[in-house]
Structure 1
Amino acid sequence: MRLYALVFLLSVLLPLNKSLLGGLKFHGGEKPIVQRTSYNVFGTRSVSFTNKFDIEFNISLYPTTEIGYIIRIKNEKSNRIYNLYYDAQGDDYKFEFNEEGKDNLIYARIARKELINLHWFKMKLSFDLVNDSIKLTIHNRKFGIGNVDLPNTYYPIVLFGKSDHIIDVPSFAIKDLSIGNNEKYIFPLKESEGSIVYNKKGQAIGKVTNPEWLINDSYHWRYKTSFKSKSVAGTNYNPKKKEFYYFNDDSIYIYNVRSGKTEIKVFDKKCPVKLILGTNFIDVKNDKLYSYEVFYEGQYHGATVASLDLNTYQWTPETSQQLPTQLHHHGSFFDPDKQQYTIFGGFGSMHYSKKFFTYDIENKEWRNRDGFSGDFLSPRYFSSVGYLKEKNSVYIFGGMGNESGQQTVGRRYYYDLYKVDLNTKKITKCWQIPWNKDNVVPVRGMIVLNDSCFYTLCYPEHFSNSYLKLYRFSLIDGSNEVLGDSIPIHSDKITTNANLYYDDQLNNLYATVQEFDDDIASDLKIYSLAFPPITADEIKSYSKKGMSIAAMWMIILASISVLGIVYLVNKKIRQRRKANEAGLATLHDADGKVKALTKPNSIYLFGDFMVRNRNNKDITYLFSAKLKQVFCLILQYSAEGGITSQRLSNVLWPGRPAANVKNSRGVTINNLRKALGELDGIELIYEKGCFKIIQTNEFYCDYVRCLELISNHDFDESREELIGIITRGKFLKHSDHELYDSFKEKMEQKLEPILLLEIEKSFHAEAYQTTIDLAEALFGIDPLNSTVLSYQIKAMQRLKMTEEAMIKYQAFVIEYKNIMGTDFPHSLKSLS
């Protein structure tokens, strides 16, 4: 193996040494008892320490459940047990270290504001066996007690989370655990799967039940929540308040990423700006959101910039000034010290722009920021822009456009980076790189964290259905790599947009995807990814064998002289990759709860269309819009004996000459057979003049399984399976072509009466969470069903979800007014 292969391996594994990665998250009181997390650090192994020992770890606290026991320490040689109890109810964090069943030994009270923005902080328990004292250290705050009567030699059994009869567990996570004195047991807790825990040397020590390994959150984008608006809406993130905003002219959704809770505020007075694109920026220092539109077609004399006070939610018009032209997909940055917001580039009036326009908050006016010198920066849109406050410099990456700025000349994709020094107004071209993959554009947001690299999301905007991928680019030479998995995006409209945000306190990246169907109504989805993100190769290297960072570096260093070891390491990684791809993947709901398991050889039509091959790899990308249409048509008619070739042709290629249609149909059918060839248990056949799909038990389709379940009206044993299918999302969720209409309608006609019956049954059986889940599925069929709303509101109130019930009611009222044009006639109290 050549030396460059070793260098590449070093560069790939280097990010693994970052202390922010990994951790073990504990499920607490938000889960049923059987699903709560329990971690026995030493398992069946007996260990002992003389004179002293410490238990030290990093801890992260979650708001989901803020009360319960974090750790228990037993002694094999005595009946004395110590525990650490945590209570975050109220304004302070309270920690009580107790001798279990006897007395409180240490009481620590820390102001919430001191810890709330610390994603991780140190916690340490020190046992001085000679001087009979115990100390508790929490983020550099020390608490202690003496005269505890400790043995000179201690045989600890260390338990985190649920253990024995102790079932009150908070939501928390730990990592970098070490126990001992001069001789320490060190547990990085960076496994990606399994219930066996390994120490730093790679030895299997200890066991955990119901774990959530956080290393996966650095690779898999986690879906958080989604919102809808029937009118034009804008979105943004406030890192100070940890809130996402999704606003239109009459209301705003406020989603807190820390608590996972959503509020909705209806404005007393509508936004003074007539929203066209929903563009906006946030002044964090003054708690204001600014909505702006740069240009209007025709006569418009209203406000073009307005500020929203994020404490009172009152709008204030700022200016009515317009720019000379519309600027779709411009880049932007905000200087909080100068109180200036600057946009760059954009597309409008058949031209690409290369101008900088700055809005001055104090003077309430736009001005052309000119006078730049240096390298030529061609007109473009879809550029990614990042601002370095410390150096008062801006980086501009990529986009589309041309040197003349005229659309009629044609456009080209750019893969270049420019640095703009705002002090000297000098533009410097940093690099331009070749691109041999599908053409992509970046999102507006660029995260520049240091002088070496930046992060942005890229996607091929010229495909209706594609994927956003996170890239890390070198600022020095443009070398890059893809991090994390991908995020689906439907980009038929020019108003569709995505963005990337970074919260350095929570160590999280956030992505927003706002999809438009008609340039007015939009859906917003929010995703999160733990920082720093990792590559596909890196996530696979965290195998269930628990290879430690130290062990990997020893292997790598040894490989410099013994290249054969490198080969063995690569071979093992490939084997693990193959094993991982053959495993089951999980789907999560907005709260991160496991909703369903994806299966090999499967196709999902509820929610996002998805296809998994025989190795459980996602091969949805093989199914173009046309292949998806053909598959769904044939599947729909297969139960009736199939669909004739003539009918298939008339639906898919109406009005086309027969000869042309025959050729197109043949190519499409062959491509569909090729794609389905990646799965076992399913086959597309042509029999008696009809195309139809046949399948065996090896193949799974949620649509087919749903029909099987609802055909049996007494499905008590399979109720949870049905709920798992329908709560994945609306049937053919993003499939809006008219040829799907009858398919959707027939499915909804079969589902609705059964679900209405089941929602009533579940409520009277006091299965309130099931009632809520069924209601969401029914709203996908009939969004204005007041009976369903009543059941959902009452179920939420029975579960003490008072705030959620209020939000649901307010959202329903707004939706009702938008569609019906009149006020909803029932109060929240009348539905309770």
Structure 2
Amino acid sequence: MPLIITIYSLISLIFGFTPPQSSLPGGLKFHGSEQAINQRTSYTIFGDNTKEFSDHFAIECSLSLYPTTEIGYILRIKNRESNRIFNLFYDGQGNNLVFKFNEEGKDNLIVAQMNKDELLNRQWFKMKILFDLKSDSISLAINDQLFSVGDQKLGSTYYPIILFGKSDHVIDVPSFAIKNLTVESTETYSFPLLENEGNLVHDIHGNPVGKVSNPDWLKNYAYHWKHQVSFKSQAIAGSGFNPKKKEIYYYNRDSIHLYNVRSGETKIEVFRQKCPVELILGTNFIDTARNKLYTYEVYYDTPYDGPTVASLDLDTFEWTVESYEQLPTQLHHHGSYINKTTSEYTLFGGFGNMKYSKSFFSFDLTKREWAKPEDFTGDFLSPRYFSSLGYQQENNSLYIFGGMGNESGEQAVGRKYYYDLYQVALGTNQVTKLWEIPWENDNVVPVRGMVLSNDSTLFTLLYPEHFSQSKLKLYRFSLKDGTYKILGDSIPIISDKITTNANLYFDAGLNNLYAVVQEFEDDISSELKVYSLAFPAITSAELSDFPMDKSDTKLWQILLLCASAIGIGYLLLKKKKPVENYTAEQISIEATPRTEKTSRENSIYLFGNFTVRDRKNRDITYMFSAQLKQVFCLILQYSSTEDGITSQHLSNLIWPDRPADKVKNSRGVTINNLRKTLSELDGIELIHEKGHYKIIFHQEAYCDYMRCLEIASSHEMDVVRDEFAEIVSRGKFLYLADDYLFDEFKEEAEAKLEPVLLVELENSFVTGAFQTTIDLAKAIFNIDPLNEVALAYEIKAMLKLKAHEEAKIKYRAFAIEYKKVTGNEYSRTFTSLSN
């Protein structure tokens, strides 16, 4: 008996321990009445299972409201043992936000009126509903305000079915989101909502528990930059962000566009009197204390005696002249920051008149004049432009990161890219070089804006400005030693003009990063694009690490091994097999996947995520814009034919609505950009002969798709079957490429592969290559998710590898998917498949 108790204790200890939950952003957004009925989100916390609660139970979560729809039902609570249904109704149409807790079809029980501005300017606030079965009362807590109702005759035991969003006939749903969901009674059920795909919701231990339809997983918002809005101006324009009003401005001399990042509303104000400053670069800053936008030009190349600084009152939209001063030189791409305490706006560095600058200039908002601060002491800070600046009020310090220039400041000497960080103590003007890191990738420059999240980390956007079609990527650097990570995906930018610029902003209330990209077409007209990313941003590995983290720590692996050993010992002691209890919510847990070989240089991968690596084995996928990817894949698709794709056919597919003269120019520019990008690889050639485009791979280059076709048509499959399985198990062909232009290419590839996969599936099993069988089955499921042959062979291969539990779970997952797609129960039994 003591031994049994010890084993139970150890099992409780090990299985009670879960890997620490990260601070990754999570949550589930609900599509409401802004969408068609069949596209609205519905979430059942416990799926088809019903829990039994005694004494009490509480539903708690963080709630976020969206202005898209302002009325509807947030959740309903049914009771399996009675016909009583309670619901929570939200109404955001008036001056206050109103939450009504009702007994459905009978009576309103609680009315909670909340301050509209307070809640809508916060990304998240707490909501809790408590059913006290002992006192027959129900309590509703919203943002720490408590409301209660008694005498509800709830009974001593409750069997709740808890549904968020659309439910049965209740289709009026507001647009909202939840995260950190818990249901607490004598046992606590926690749901971090850290999924990024799928219709199953997992508890904190990674077990599938609930079901959701039409989910919008918020974790994706922390990786994928979301395009919010675009504006165009035919005149020179500038842009800025007002964190106090949560507005992005895009203005020229005649008018200003305002975009509210919280509500999504846009409006335009036409000035009664045009901006008095003649705009050259549209440089500007926002003074939130005075609620003014200041536009300024530091230098004019031609004689000019007009105003150089003017302020725009953001309440009245009236301009006021502030200064006529000019600085000694033009300063393209200077860094800048505003000190609200001293009412000074300071800029650093820049490029103009064939020189790089290392000077600081400050504009005093009170005195309305420019001044050059006293000399700075300490470490040498070389002349540069394209630097990123950030100010930290806690230590009254300025941080300067990166850029390019040289020690002499003379453009003729040539330029050097800097990957260093300086701290400038503004009280003493002491400059301290914190670090300089080696850089082995393509040279990049930062945008002007820097976000300092705390005393240890900085964020900025970096991009190779020397490419015409480039990509902005978000980097997180340590202030201590310069170690960094790349977060999120990328943002396209066309950087042909020196006036093109980008900026990074952070809204602490909404917990969002905003990238504002302004692309100039001809030094006068420009387009402004606004993108958002949830904060904290995450890496590609973090995007898909829940519920199954494929990079578990050694500690967790050791604990699992210990658990297995103890479990075996326990089974030997008990001498009986545990009862199998699989639920419809369980998901597929595959046998250990094949370890993918390191990606090679001069390679292009089309299975899984589209990936390109250059001759130095660097990932240059970011260089392929959406259009370059379209053109490349179309040419590659037709390269398997004798001639390739005609210029006319390519133009009709990519630019179907453009006039012929403009199409020719666009095609020429795009083909040149594609050739330039492909020149980063050895052994790949884009040729144009007799009006046809074609891509040729030589021995030095590798394309997984071309190699796959080569293997499939060979007669040596027994030798290269493992290589074939490795290629196709990398992922679905052109995964995440949702453009309709790729549909035919996908269909052709899958039509060629599926019969080969089915033959090799059987051959691999017959020859005892069971892991290869599993890999090939996965590839078949990417083409046909309901392929029963693949299911049978995968289950049999798992059983051969002693992965009995995984095989059963795979069967259940297939049966669930089968019913969801066909509406019918899957008729074949596990035993019949395994035999």
- TM-score (ref. length: structure 2): 0.69
Which ranges in structure 2 are unaligned for 5 or more consecutive residues? Answer: 1-17, 566-588, 600-604, 611-623, 638-643, 654-663, 673-681, 689-693, 710-732, 745-835
Instruction: Give, in whole Å, the separation in 1 of the partners of 2:598 and 2:195.
Output: 15
Give the alignment partner of residue 17 of structure 1, picking from 17, 22, 26.
22
Instruction: Give, in whole Å, the separation in 2 of the partners of 1:15 and 1:254.
Output: 43
Deviation at residue 365 of structure 1 after TM alignment: 0.3
Q: Residue 38 of structure 2: SS of its match in structure 1?
A: helix
Deviations 1:185-204 (A, max 9, x none): 11111111000111112111
Instruction: Give, in whole Å, the separation in 2 of the partners of 1:553 and 1:27.
Output: 40
Deviation at residue 635 of structure 1 after TM alignment: 4.2
Deviation at residue 291 of structure 1 after TM alignment: 0.3
Instruction: Give, in whole Å, the separation in 2 of the partners of 1:289 and 1:223.
Output: 24
Match of 2:719 in 1: none
Identify if the C-alpha distance between structure 1 residues 169 and 573 changes in structure 2 by more than 3 Å, giving closer, same or farther. farther
Instruction: Give, in whole Å, the separation in 2 of the partners of 1:635 and 1:243.
Output: 44
Deviation at residue 47 of structure 1 after TM alignment: 0.6
Identify if the C-alpha distance between structure 1 residues 224 and 570 changes in structure 2 by more than 3 Å, giving closer, same or farther. farther
Deviation at residue 555 of structure 1 after TM alignment: 2.1
Give the alignment partner of residue 120 of structure 1, picking from 117, 124, 145.
124
Give the alignment partner of residue 687 of structure 2, picking from 669, 673, 688.
669
Match of 2:487 in 1: 483
2:685–2:696 CA contact under 8 A, matched in 1:
no
Deviation at residue 651 of structure 1 after TM alignment: 8.0
Identify if the C-alpha distance between structure 1 residues 304 and 638 changes in structure 2 by more than 3 Å, giving closer, same or farther. closer
Q: Does 1:459 align with 2:457?
A: no
Q: Does 1:75 align with 2:93?
A: no
Q: Does 1:141 align with 2:141?
A: no
List aligned pairs for 1:752-791, cutoff 5 A.
none
Match of 1:374 in 2: 378
Match of 2:476 in 1: 472
Q: Residue 543 of structure 2: SS of its match in structure 1?
A: helix
Match of 1:493 in 2: 497
Instruction: Give, in whole Å, the separation in 2 of the partners of 1:130 and 1:703.
Output: 62
Match of 1:660 in 2: none
Instruction: Give, in whole Å, the separation in 1 of the partners of 2:530 and 2:211.
Output: 34
Instruction: Give, in whole Å, the separation in 1 of the partners of 2:330 and 2:237.
Output: 17
1:540–1:573 CA contact under 8 A, matched in 2:
no
Instruction: Give, in whole Å, the separation in 1 of the partners of 2:25 and 2:560.
Output: 25
Deviation at residue 512 of structure 1 after TM alignment: 1.0
Match of 2:298 in 1: 294
Deviations 1:581-624 (A, max 9, x none): 96799xxxxxxxxxxxxxxxxxxx9x9515279xxxx989999x
Instruction: Give, in whole Å, the separation in 2 of the partners of 1:676 and 1:612.
Output: 19
Deviation at residue 217 of structure 1 after TM alignment: 0.4
Q: Residue 371 of structure 1: SS of its match in structure 2?
A: coil
Give the alignment partner of residue 358 of structure 2, picking from 334, 354, 357.
354
Q: Does 1:511 align with 2:505?
A: no
1:198–1:546 CA contact under 8 A, matched in 2:
no
Match of 2:444 in 1: 440
Q: Does 1:164 align with 2:168?
A: yes
Deviation at residue 288 of structure 1 after TM alignment: 0.4
List aligned pairs for 1:679-758, cutoff 5 A.
none
Q: Residue 76 of structure 2: SS of its match in structure 1?
A: strand
List aligned pairs for 1:100-499, cutoff 5 A.
100-499=104-503
Identify if the C-alpha distance between structure 1 residues 703 and 158 changes in structure 2 by more than 3 Å, giving closer, same or farther. closer
Match of 2:629 in 1: 611
Q: Residue 174 of structure 1: SS of its match in structure 2?
A: strand
1:287–1:311 CA contact under 8 A, matched in 2:
yes
1:231–1:520 CA contact under 8 A, matched in 2:
yes
Instruction: Give, in whole Å, the separation in 2 of the partners of 1:233 and 1:436.
Output: 36
Q: Residue 609 of structure 1: SS of its match in structure 2?
A: helix
Q: Residue 114 of structure 1: SS of its match in structure 2?
A: helix
Instruction: Give, in whole Å, the separation in 2 of the partners of 1:573 and 1:112.
Output: 53
Identify if the C-alpha distance between structure 1 residues 523 and 14 changes in structure 2 by more than 3 Å, giving closer, same or farther. farther
Instruction: Give, in whole Å, the separation in 1 of the partners of 2:71 and 2:628.
Output: 39
Instruction: Give, in whole Å, the separation in 1 of the partners of 2:95 and 2:433.
Output: 51
Q: Residue 541 of structure 2: SS of its match in structure 1?
A: helix
Equivalent residues, number = 625
Deviation at residue 633 of structure 1 after TM alignment: 3.7
Deviations 1:330-365 (A, max 9, x none): 000001121110000000011100000000010000
Q: Does 1:43 align with 2:47?
A: yes
Deviations 1:471-528 (A, max 9, x none): 0001011011100001111000100111100001001000011111111111111100
Identify if the C-alpha distance between structure 1 residues 620 and 436 changes in structure 2 by more than 3 Å, giving closer, same or farther. farther
Q: Residue 167 of structure 1: SS of its match in structure 2?
A: coil
Instruction: Give, in whole Å, the separation in 2 of the partners of 1:488 and 1:15.
Output: 35
Instruction: Give, in whole Å, the separation in 1 of the partners of 2:702 and 2:740.
Output: 16
Q: Does 1:54 align with 2:54?
A: no
Q: Residue 216 of structure 1: SS of its match in structure 2?
A: helix
- What is the root-mean-square deviation of aligned Cα atoms in Å? 3.9
Deviation at residue 558 of structure 1 after TM alignment: 4.0
Q: Residue 228 of structure 1: SS of its match in structure 2?
A: strand
Could you tell me which amino acid in structure 1 is paired with residue 22 of structure 2?
N
Deviation at residue 115 of structure 1 after TM alignment: 1.1
Could you tell me which amino acid in structure 1 is paired with residue 687 of structure 2?
I
Instruction: Give, in whole Å, the separation in 2 of the partners of 1:560 and 1:352.
Output: 60
Percent identity of equivalent pairs: 54
Identify if the C-alpha distance between structure 1 residues 702 and 38 changes in structure 2 by more than 3 Å, giving closer, same or farther. closer
Instruction: Give, in whole Å, the separation in 2 of the partners of 1:277 and 1:571.
Output: 57
Which ranges in structure 1 are unaligned for 5 or more consecutive residues? Answer: 1-12, 586-604, 624-629, 640-646, 655-663, 684-696, 707-832
1:540–1:576 CA contact under 8 A, matched in 2:
no
1:415–1:435 CA contact under 8 A, matched in 2:
yes
1:200–1:548 CA contact under 8 A, matched in 2:
no
Q: Does 1:539 align with 2:543?
A: yes
Identify if the C-alpha distance between structure 1 residues 571 and 271 changes in structure 2 by more than 3 Å, giving closer, same or farther. farther
Instruction: Give, in whole Å, the separation in 2 of the partners of 1:253 and 1:468.
Output: 24
Q: Residue 541 of structure 1: SS of its match in structure 2?
A: coil
Give the alignment partner of residue 70 of structure 2, picking from 66, 72, 90.
66
Q: Does 1:527 align with 2:527?
A: no
Instruction: Give, in whole Å, the separation in 2 of the partners of 1:701 and 1:527.
Output: 21
1:15–1:534 CA contact under 8 A, matched in 2:
no
Q: Stretches of 4+ moved more than 6 A in 1?
A: 13-16, 551-554, 559-562, 568-571, 573-578, 618-623, 650-654, 680-683, 697-701, 703-706
2:635–2:645 CA contact under 8 A, matched in 1:
no
Deviations 1:636-656 (A, max 9, x none): 4899xxxxxxx99x98999xx
Q: Residue 17 of structure 1: SS of its match in structure 2?
A: coil
Q: Residue 496 of structure 2: SS of its match in structure 1?
A: coil
Could you tell me which amino acid in structure 2 is paired with residue 170 of structure 1?
P
Match of 2:556 in 1: 555
2:248–2:259 CA contact under 8 A, matched in 1:
yes
Identify if the C-alpha distance between structure 1 residues 117 and 582 changes in structure 2 by more than 3 Å, giving closer, same or farther. farther
Could you tell me which amino acid in structure 2 is paired with residue 555 of structure 1?
W
**Structure 1 range deviating more: 24-33 or 664-673:** 664-673
Deviation at residue 310 of structure 1 after TM alignment: 0.6
**Structure 1 range deviating more: 329-338 or 667-676:** 667-676
Instruction: Give, in whole Å, the separation in 2 of the partners of 1:573 and 1:498.
Output: 42
List aligned pairs for 1:596-607, cutoff 5 A.
none
Identify if the C-alpha distance between structure 1 residues 404 and 681 changes in structure 2 by more than 3 Å, giving closer, same or farther. closer
Q: Residue 534 of structure 1: SS of its match in structure 2?
A: coil
1:49–1:180 CA contact under 8 A, matched in 2:
no
Q: Residue 412 of structure 2: SS of its match in structure 1?
A: helix
1:609–1:620 CA contact under 8 A, matched in 2:
no
